[in-house]
């Protein structure tokens, strides 16, 4: 194992007292970076994801070019439906498309749940390669989609404004929904453990659509599976849960085995702290669109954000993925402002 | 003025003690009703909106067929950009399109702000006609879009996942954004007063995209204009503000001149009550997708919802517009469950 030269992210997740928080950005390896766009012109989406050398090169770009305190492996949450035997198509600048959706018990029974170390071996190879190339410069974050969010895509077949087909599936066939969620949870735990074994220092679970659920349905269809994942990884690597939009669940998630909880930009820091409790490390929550503001305004608002969250038990990040139309120097200003905090 | 036979909605907004809350549904006059679909096949969207007899007929459908305690005039929030001189196109089953968007000060200066009583006279005619046809059966609700949400469409030109162009407009040209928001506010106040004069008993302001703003930006770009509207209408008709997603603003809105505050289905009732304070009437917040659940489940969850909100200072509604794929008997079950509460 390579010793980390910059382990601020791990210190923040362990609750150590820091002078400034670590900083990274969701989707930092991606569409706003000119070098990424060049690779995108040459290789299609799943070629980029499935070729360890390409995934590694893309992962390293923001570390070198923007100066973040952590890398996150370039991949996609929909590799799990693929590993479970479903077809996933990805058109550039459009969303994903799963032509055969899950409707019946037979569909759920046909899903593959084993062998993820083999079927997604390319991810583990990309992680090993990236960790070697990083040489301890910063930690590498692995990730997966949360079971509810993966169910959304499996049932809906694509993005949606309301994910009402996914919800209808749960509301009308709850036993089948739980069977599916458990299958996704099992393979996701194996997948995240394999990522940790390959060298990921931290893993994040993206529940991008959890905020579509009201509090009672979140407790039924999202929370138990997030907690299972946090419990299963405890003692392996720190887990960050990011249930976007589900501010109402902060007390339960803050008391869970997860080391960190991501929050979106609509949650006031003081309310987040009070709801999540003293032992949770919070991550977020700069409005991604605020990176389109003039640089002095970005810097001033980053300072306000850190003033509100404090420098310990806190990871500076956006409240959602970086937008493709953000100028690179604005992304860099965000990172710089965190690094300059208190100096 | 015609005396109301059913004034539960007004009683709830006045804070009177009730045995059950009034019930209506956002978008209740619309796409889930077979009789609406028949009219849609014969007349395009703006013909339906601009022909008082058609708007009236559509408005009355859910009163007769679903049994709601209030009608809401069939119209669209984008009649205000039209009245201000912008072109708005509407394709069925797609969103709106505004081909010339607002970019510069000259664009803002060119907007019309006067004469809304004339330019939107068809709305006031539809209201008068509907009030006459209702004959006091239930009150009629008028409505408008909130200034921030109207700005979103004017600047973005269409719907968006993140409304980052609208936000960028505000963040990079704040003085111009405020000039535009004030213009929209002024015409909206005149418009809502004209709706009240034509016979609307209550008006609702839809801030459909306010939840795209973080708390600090909501306070800058949404809240002041919502409060101006509530203040300007105070003493005329009760105002319901519905800032979807902006649960964080409940304390300020609850203390405002607005009679009612709409909340979406992600806000737990006890938290909403505690944040909004004792004098606010809350409206909501059934998950629209929950109307796709089996009828016994709908009925049980409606009871749970009213148990949590209480029967006074509360208006039973959905947390957002009814989905087009909801069976009519499920919508009726929702309304019936509210009416059966406590019996």
Express each pLDDT in B48-75 by its tens digit: 999 999 999 999 999 999 999 999 999 9
The one catalytic residue among A36, A153, A221, A314 = A153
Does a cis peptide bond (omega within 30 degrees of 0) precede residue B266? no
The one catalytic residue among A69, A76, A264, A336 = A76
Contact state of A248 with B266 under an 8 Å Cβ cutoff:
yes
Segment A67-111, tens digit of pLDDT: 999 999 999 999 999 999 999 999 877 889 999 999 999 999 999
CB contacts, 8 Å: A247 with chain B: 247, 266
Q: How far is CA A325 from each of CA A43, A92, B165, B279, rounded to the nearest angstrom?
A: 21, 15, 10, 44
Q: How far is CA B229 from each of CA A148, B28, B204, B221, rounded to the nearest angstrom?
A: 40, 24, 10, 14
Pick B287's closest partner by Cβ from A214, A245, A287.
Answer: A214
Q: How far is CA B31 from each of CA A222, B218, B288, rounded to the nearest angstrom?
A: 30, 31, 14
Segment A48-62, tens digit of pLDDT: 999 999 999 999 999
Residue A195, judged by CB atoms within 10 A of its CB (0-12, 13-18, 19+), counts as buried
Pick A292's closest partner by Cβ from B164, B214, B289.
Answer: B164
Segment A13-26, tens digit of pLDDT: 999 999 999 999 99
Predicted pLDDT of residue A91? 80
How far apart, in whole angstroms, are the C-alpha atoms of residue B283 and residue B244?
Answer: 11
Q: Does A319 touch chain B (CB under 8 A)?
A: yes
Contact state of A266 with B172 under an 8 Å Cβ cutoff:
no
Distance to chain A for B53, nearest Cα, Å: 32
A149: tokens are: 């969010």
In this structure, the number of other CB atoms found within 10 A of the CB of residue B48 comes to: 19
Contact state of A172 with B292 under an 8 Å Cβ cutoff:
yes
Q: Are the beta carbons of B116 and B187 closer than 8 angstroms?
A: yes
Q: Does A325 touch chain B (CB under 8 A)?
A: yes
Q: Does A211 touch chain B (CB under 8 A)?
A: yes
Q: Assess whether A332 carries a catalytic annotation.
A: no
How far apart, in whole angstroms, are the C-alpha atoms of residue A105 and residue A103?
Answer: 7
Pick B164's closest partner by Cβ from A213, A266, A323.
Answer: A323
Contact state of B287 with A215 under an 8 Å Cβ cutoff:
no
pLDDT at B105 over 90: yes
Segment A142-180, tens digit of pLDDT: 999 999 999 999 999 999 999 999 999 999 999 999 999
CB contacts, 8 Å: A245 with chain B: 266
Contact state of A167 with B289 under an 8 Å Cβ cutoff:
yes
Segment B234-288, tens digit of pLDDT: 999 999 999 999 999 999 999 999 999 999 999 999 999 999 998 999 999 999 9
Contact state of B171 with A292 under an 8 Å Cβ cutoff:
yes
A342 alpha carbon, distance to own chain's centre:
28
Q: At what angle do helices B223-233 and B174-198 cross, to 10 degrees?
A: 30
Overall average pLDDT of the B307-332 stretch: 98
Which secondary structure element, helix H or strand E, spans residue B96, and what is its range? Answer: strand B96-97
At B93, the pLDDT band (50, 70, 90 cuts) reads: confident
Among all residues of B, which ones are annotated catalytic? 27, 31, 40, 76, 153
Contact state of A162 with B323 under an 8 Å Cβ cutoff:
yes
Q: Does A19 touch chain B (CB under 8 A)?
A: no
CB contacts, 8 Å: B290 with chain A: 167, 171
Q: Which residues contact A59 (CB under 8 A, 6 or more apart)?
A: A29, A71, A72, A73, A74, A126, A130, A140
Tell me how many degrees the CA angle B154-B247-B223 measures, rounded to the nearest 5: 45
At A7, the pLDDT band (50, 70, 90 cuts) reads: very high
CB contacts, 8 Å: A304 with chain B: 216
* Residue-by-residue DSSP string for B225-251: HHHHHHHHHTTTS-EEEEETT-GGGHH
Residue with tokens 């706003």: A32
Predicted pLDDT of residue B94? 82
pLDDT over 90, % of chain A:
97
At B327, the pLDDT band (50, 70, 90 cuts) reads: very high
CB contacts, 8 Å: A211 with chain B: 266
B166: tokens are: 């609208």
pLDDT at A2 over 90: no
A164: tokens are: 């009402």
Domains annotated on chain B, with CATH: 8-339 (3.20.20.210)
How far apart, in whole angstroms, are the C-alpha atoms of residue A100 and residue A56?
Answer: 31
Predicted pLDDT of residue B92? 72
Overall average pLDDT of the B144-170 stretch: 97
Contact state of A292 with B267 under an 8 Å Cβ cutoff:
no
Q: Does A279 touch chain B (CB under 8 A)?
A: no
Overall average pLDDT of the B75-82 stretch: 98
A142 pairs with which residues across the strands?
A203
Contact state of B319 with A214 under an 8 Å Cβ cutoff:
yes
Task: Tell me the ipTM for this assembly.
Answer: 0.96
Which secondary structure element, helix H or strand E, spans residue A15, and what is its range? Answer: none
Predicted pLDDT of residue B2? 81
Which secondary structure element, helix H or strand E, spans residue A96, and what is its range? Answer: strand A96-97
């Amino acid at each position: 194992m390579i010793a980390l030269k910059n382990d601020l992210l791990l210190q923040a997740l362990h609750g150590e007292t820091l002078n400034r928080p670590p900083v990274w950005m969701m989707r930092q390896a991606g569409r706003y970076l000119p070098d990424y766009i060049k690779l995108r012109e040459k290789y299609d989406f799943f070629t980029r994801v499935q070729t360890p050398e390409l995934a590694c090169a893309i992962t390293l770009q923001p570390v070198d070019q923007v100066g973040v305190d952590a890398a996150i492996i370039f991949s996609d949450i929909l590799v799990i439906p693929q590993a479970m035997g479903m077809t996933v198509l990805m058109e550039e600048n459009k969303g994903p498309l799963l032509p055969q959706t899950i409707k019946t018990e037979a569909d759920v029974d046909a899903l593959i749940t084993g062998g993820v170390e083999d079927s997604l071996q390319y991810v583990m190879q990309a992680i090993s390669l990236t960790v070697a190339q990083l040489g301890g410069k910063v930690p590498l974050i692995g990730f997966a989609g949360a079971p509810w969010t993966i169910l959304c895509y499996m049932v809906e077949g694509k993005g949606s404004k309301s994910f009402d087909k996914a919800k209808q599936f749960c509301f009308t066939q709850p036993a089948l929904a739980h069977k599916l969620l458990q299958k996704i949870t099992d393979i996701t735990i194996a997948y995240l453990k394999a990522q940790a074994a390959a060298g990921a220092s931290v893993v994040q679970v993206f529940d991008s659509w959890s905020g579509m659920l009201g509090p009672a349905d979140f407790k039924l269809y999202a929370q138990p599976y997030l907690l299972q994942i946090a419990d299963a990884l405890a003692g392996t690597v720190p887990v960050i849960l990011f249930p976007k939009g589900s501010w109402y669940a902060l007390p339960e998630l803050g008391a869970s085995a997860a080391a960190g909880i991501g929050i979106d930009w609509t949650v006031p820091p003081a309310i987040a702290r009070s709801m999540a409790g003293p032992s949770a490390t919070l991550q977020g929550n700069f409005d991604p669109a605020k990176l389109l503001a003039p640089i002095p305004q970005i810097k001033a608002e980053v300072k306000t954000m850190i003033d509100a969250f404090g420098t310990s038990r806190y990871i500076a990040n956006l409240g959602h993925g970086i937008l493709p139309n953000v100028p690179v120097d604005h992304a860099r200003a965000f990172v710089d402002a965190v690094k300059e905090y208190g100096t």
